[in-house]
Amino acid sequence: MQVVTIGLGYIGLPTSALIAQNKIHVHGVDISQHVVDTINAGKIHIVEPDLDQAVAQVVQSGYLKAATKPIQADTYLVVVPTPFKGGNHEPDISYVKAATTAVIPLLKEGDLYIIESTSPVGTTEKMMEYIFTERPELEGKIYLAYCPERVLPGNVMYELVHNDRVIGGVNEASTQKAIAFYRQFVQGTLHPTNARTAEMCKLTENSSRDVQIAFANELSLICDKAGINVWELIELANKHPRVNILQPGCGVGGHCIAVDPYFIVSEFPMESRIIAQAREINNYKSFWCAEKVKSTRLAFELKEGREPAIAVMGLAFKPNIDDLRESPAIYITERILQDSGDADLFIVEPNVHEHKIFKLTHYKEAVEKADIVVFLVAHTEFKTLEIPTNKVVLDFCGVRKN
Ligand SMILES: NC(=O)c1ccc[n+]([C@@H]2O[C@H](COP(=O)([O-])OP(=O)(O)OC[C@H]3O[C@@H](n4cnc5c(N)ncnc54)[C@H](O)[C@@H]3O)[C@@H](O)[C@H]2O)c1
């Protein structure tokens, strides 16, 4: 059996390595020559635990080869990016289309074509139409399915094997063919459905998280006005056996939860009111945090007759990682920078050595020098940090709640 994977990034490369570990020949395709060369040298271009050994082993044993062009295979897996574009956050499926264009001339009877990229509802059917327009003789003779990925970066090699998967074909035969493919290397349960439901399932999972976080963030705004400690409130409310409120923060970031809900909103704007509001509330929370820093700075200036020094604690989109993509902490830091004139600003991100825009300071030094300490990300280092009582603390992520 020969598999072609298209896109060798955070998801495509671990998936390719896992398939190859199961002694299936994988031809991995990426448009980046650097990515291809790195992998063929048995190395990796992304940070993911255990992936380096897996890639080194399968490249050495000959089961994984990388190239910039696909070859003829039995199964094609599309794992390219699906960002959004424009002011209305419309999904950009041009990468999926480009990957499909590359495999169309190679397809033959009996082949399986799977999209794993997070995609708007209807993408698999659209690609099916595209394929059959170009290759009408294949209609009814190949299998097409959508199978979303739900792994947690940092634990990908484990979750790829053990998570349940949702598998939706364009027809029953395609679903069964795709299930048989994944069964070779996935130990989690494989749940059959149709392609549209599988596409919507991925978007639903991340929208659900976004909506729940928006609820917590909305509570944090209400509590601030009402003079109530939101962390204590949520802890108490969660003592109810059927209530489980998430923690508020300085917004929502990352390339999934902050992005995928837009794929629903842009296509179903009339119906997706809670989902759209959740995106707005979570974005607004970041703006509100920046405004809060501004008003705290002005109050300090009025009281002390001088500009305060400010420590900004954390840039990543969630605790204890170095991933800054779509991070609300970056947005807030930029606004603080714009607002704070000549004030001394100490920017901290313990998981990153260097940043191309911000000069980074060690977290202990930043706290020592600052008058106002702003916690944006609940990194472990910040939990037990000694903060003298004369400093003003703004804790937007609950890292100092206990
Ligand atoms: N990273 C995650 O945690 C995660 C989780 C679930 C789903 N997803 C989804 O999986 C998909 C891939 O995400 P990722 O994080 O692996 O992206 P990524 O940016 O890490 O990797 C994508 C790779 O595809 C390559 N590429 C782009 N166009 C190509 C083309 N036409 N042909 C061949 N290669 C091409 C890029 O060079 C890049 O190396 C996205 O739809 C994403 O939403 C990601």
Q: Does residue 342 carry a pLDDT above 80? A: no
Give pLDDT, residue 267: 93
Compute how many other C-beta atoms are within 10 angstroms of the C-beta atom of residue 342.
6
256 is catalytic: yes
Of the residues 147, 256, 289, 397, only one is catalytic, namely 256
Specify the range with the lowest mean pLDDT, choosing from 192-206, 271-285, 309-323: 309-323
Q: Classify strands 165-169 and 143-146 as parallel, antiparallel or unpaired.
A: antiparallel
CA–CA distance, 400 with 218 (Å, rounded to integer):
20
User: Would the CB of 76 count as within 6 Å of ligand 1?
Assistant: no
Of residues 293, 278, 256, the one with CA closest to residue 370:
293
Ligand 1 centroid from CA 116, angstroms: 9
CA max distance for the chain: 79
User: Would the CB of 29 count as within 6 Å of ligand 1?
Assistant: yes
pTM of the entire predicted model:
0.93
DSSP string, 241-258: TT-------S---TTTTT
Which atom of ligand 1 lies at the shortest distance from residue 118's CA? 41
User: Would the CB of 79 count as within 6 Å of ligand 1?
Assistant: yes
Ligand 1 centroid from CA 148, angstroms: 12
Of the residues 65, 202, 285, 318, only one is catalytic, namely 202
User: Would the CB of 15 count as within 6 Å of ligand 1?
Assistant: no
Ligand 1 centroid from CA 13, angstroms: 9
Give pLDDT, residue 70: 98
pLDDT, tens only, 170-195:
999 999 999 999 999 999 999 999 99
Ligand 1 centroid from CA 47, angstroms: 14
Residue 321: band (very low, low, confident or very high) from pLDDT cuts 50, 70, 90: confident
CA–CA distance, 56 with 310 (Å, rounded to integer):
45
Q: How far is CA 31 from CA 5, 66, 95, in A?
A: 12, 10, 11
Q: Give the chain's mean pLDDT.
A: 96
202 is catalytic: yes
Give pLDDT, residue 145: 98
User: Would the CB of 82 count as within 6 Å of ligand 1?
Assistant: yes
> Which residue, by CA, sits nearest to atom 38 of ligand 1?
9
Q: Does residue 397 carry a pLDDT above 80? A: yes
pLDDT, tens only, 366-386:
999 999 999 999 999 999 999
User: Would the CB of 112 count as within 6 Å of ligand 1?
Assistant: no
Residue 144: band (very low, low, confident or very high) from pLDDT cuts 50, 70, 90: very high
Give pLDDT, residue 322: 86
Higher pLDDT, 322 or 249: 249
Name every residue whose Cβ is closer than 8 Å to that of residue 30 and which is 6 or more positions away in sequence.
6, 7, 8, 9, 12, 36, 39, 66, 68
Average pLDDT over residues 19-30: 98
Residue 341: band (very low, low, confident or very high) from pLDDT cuts 50, 70, 90: confident
Q: Does residue 153 carry a pLDDT above 90? A: no
Of residues 299, 257, 306, 282, the one with CA closest to residue 396:
282
Give pLDDT, residue 86: 84
User: Would the CB of 31 count as within 6 Å of ligand 1?
Assistant: yes
Which atom of ligand 1 lies at the shortest distance from residue 260's CA? 43
Ligand 1 centroid from CA 96, angstroms: 10
Backbone angles phi, psi at 311, to 5 degrees: -105, 125
Residue 143: band (very low, low, confident or very high) from pLDDT cuts 50, 70, 90: very high
Ligand 1 centroid from CA 63, angstroms: 21
Give pLDDT, residue 57: 98
User: Would the CB of 32 count as within 6 Å of ligand 1?
Assistant: yes
Residue 255: band (very low, low, confident or very high) from pLDDT cuts 50, 70, 90: confident
Question: In percent, how much of the chain has pLDDT > 70?
Answer: 100
CA–CA distance, 356 with 288 (Å, rounded to integer):
26
The residue assigned the tokens 């291809």 is 36
pLDDT, tens only, 39-62:
999 999 988 899 999 999 999 999
Ligand 1 centroid from CA 8, angstroms: 7
User: Would the CB of 345 count as within 6 Å of ligand 1?
Assistant: no
CA atoms within 13 A on the CB side of 352: 23
Give pLDDT, residue 102: 98
pLDDT, tens only, 118-137:
999 999 999 999 999 999 99
Which atom of ligand 1 lies at the shortest distance from residue 6's CA? 33
CA–CA distance, 345 with 359 (Å, rounded to integer):
9
Give pLDDT, residue 343: 82
